[in-house]
């Protein structure tokens, strides 16, 4: 239980209303609870709230006047995170415990304040820092290093010689340091290129569930400090991820690629190997990145293009069915007119001139045919441009 004034001190905010009001926990705006606190960034988000179904709100100065008990803060969401952490407390139980069913092999160094759960395997030469938590079924390979205050959830595999900094959190099922996908084609098949490098994960990195981060072939795969990685992400051998980059689920990054600092990568994005993505770039979900990107690039689509260009191509793509139908209709008209023109020319060149195929009439018809041909050429050119912008290969005989 905390008072509103205590939470204001914790977050660096100020109180409007009853500072001695008791707060028993936190809740969402969608499901308010008596005695609890939530946060609000827009007034429309709080249409169903009242002083009877929620104790207090964290919000900005400009919105504070609408409610009785308020913790005023310039960044309500940030303040709410601090409140949540205060109520949640430490993730792990009391430290300094090795479960009887854990296997800590000879030569491993486990700090006295670390906690090792049941069925974990700690190999020779491993070093585990202070207050680090190792969940059930975790495997830590030979000579791996884990820093202080790490939290390794159940069934994570950390291969030999992997290096983790301080405050690293890895969720269930993730594998760190498995062999990179490196093979040399020969006449006898694919020969494995030995993957003898390692993985370095710096301080304050979060890695979601069921991710795979491969060790480098010769050097290091590096995840720099502050990076946050969602579930189901594949990071290949020799990749470097810059500080404070965020990567959404199901992204795949091929070997040797370097991602800059403070980048934002949407879900299911794919990256060609051995390219560079500049700092502060934004890659939209499902983008296919085949070439290096400059500083502060913003791309989307497959293949990835500047976001504005992708939106234009998408808008024009919706017009393609109408354009194709228009071309077909004009081609039918052109065939009919061409046939009529040939017939008139043939009759005009015969031994008996009937006067029906006059030079003026034939010239007018020919001009009409040329006009349709020019219209068709313009439409074909537009279709070709659309295909080129969209990255589609030209097709033989296509418009």
What are the catalytic residues? 237
Q: Give the containing element (helix H, strand E) for 153.
A: none
| Residue 256: partners with Cβ closer than 8 Å, 6 or more residues away | 236, 237, 238, 239, 273, 274
- Separation CA 396–CA 398 (nearest Å): 5
Whole-angstrom distance, CA of residue 193 vs CA of residue 365: 70
Q: Are strands 127-128 and 109-110 parallel, antiparallel or unpaired?
A: parallel
With contact defined as beta carbons under 8 Å apart, do 264 and 242 qualify?
A: no
With helix as H, strand as E and coil as C, how does 38-74 read? EECCCHHHHCCCCCCCCCEEEECCCCHHHCCCEEECC
Distance in angstroms (rounded) separating the CA atoms of residues 216 and 199? 7
- Tell me the sheet residues that pair with 56: 37
3-state class (DSSP) for residue 337: helix
Rounded Cα distance between 117 and 134, Å, is 6
- Closest by CA to 263, choosing from 288, 234, 240, is 240
Among candidate residues 197, 191, 165, 163, the one with its CA nearest the CA of residue 178: 197
Separation of alpha carbons 347 and 63, rounded Å:
87
In sequence order, which residues have a C-beta less than 8 Å from that of residue 104 and are 6 or more positions away? 98, 110, 116, 122
Cα angle 215, 217, 220 (rounded to 5 degrees) comes to 55
Q: Which two tokens stand for residue 393?
A: 């290969």
């Amino acid at each position: 239980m905390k008072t509103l004034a205590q939470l204001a001190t914790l977050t660096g905010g100020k109180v409007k209303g009853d500072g001695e009001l008791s707060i028993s926990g936190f809740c969402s705006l969608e499901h308010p609870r008596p005695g609890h606190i939530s946060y609000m960034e827009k007034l429309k988000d709080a249409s169903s709230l009242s002083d009877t179904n929620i104790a207090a709100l964290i919000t900005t100065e400009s919105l504070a006047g609408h409610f009785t008990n308020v913790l005023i803060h310039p960044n309500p969401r940030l303040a709410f995170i601090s409140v949540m952490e205060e109520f949640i407390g430490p993730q792990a139980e009391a430290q300094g415990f090795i479960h009887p069913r854990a296997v800590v092999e000879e030569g491993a160094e486990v700090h006295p304040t670390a906690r090792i759960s049941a069925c974990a395997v700690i190999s020779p030469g491993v070093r585990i820092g202070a207050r680090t938590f190792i969940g059930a079924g975790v495997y830590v390979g030979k000579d791996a290093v884990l820093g202080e205050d790490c939290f390794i959830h159940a069934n994570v595999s950390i291969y030999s010689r992997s290096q983790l900094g301080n405050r690293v959190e890895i969720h269930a099922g993730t594998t760190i340091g498995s062999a990179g996908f490196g093979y040399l084609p020969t006449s006898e098949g694919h020969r494995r290129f030995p993957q003898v490098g390692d993985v370095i994960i710096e301080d304050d990195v979060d890695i979601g569930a069921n991710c795979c981060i491969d060790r480098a072939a010769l050097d290091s795969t590096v995840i720099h400090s502050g990076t946050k990685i969602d579930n189901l992400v594949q990071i290949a051998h020799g990749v470097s991820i810059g500080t404070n980059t965020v990567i959404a689920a199901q992204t795949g990054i091929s070997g040797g690629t370097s991602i800059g600092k403070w980048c934002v990568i949407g879900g299911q994005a794919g990256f060609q190997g051995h390219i560079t993505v500049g700092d502060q770039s934004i890659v939209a979900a499902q983008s296919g990145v085949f070439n290096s990107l400059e500083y502060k690039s913003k791309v989307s689509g497959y293949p990835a293009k500047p976001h504005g260009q992708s939106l234009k191509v998408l808008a024009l793509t919706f017009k393609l069915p109408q354009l194709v139908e228009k071309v077909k209709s004009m081609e039918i008209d052109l065939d009919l007119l061409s046939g009529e023109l040939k017939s008139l020319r043939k009759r005009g060149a015969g031994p008996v001139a009937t006067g029906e195929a006059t030079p003026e009439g034939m010239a007018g018809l020919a001009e009409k045919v040329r006009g349709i041909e020019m219209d068709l050429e313009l439409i074909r050119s537009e279709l070709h441009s659309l295909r080129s912008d969209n990255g589609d290969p030209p097709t033989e005989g296509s418009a």
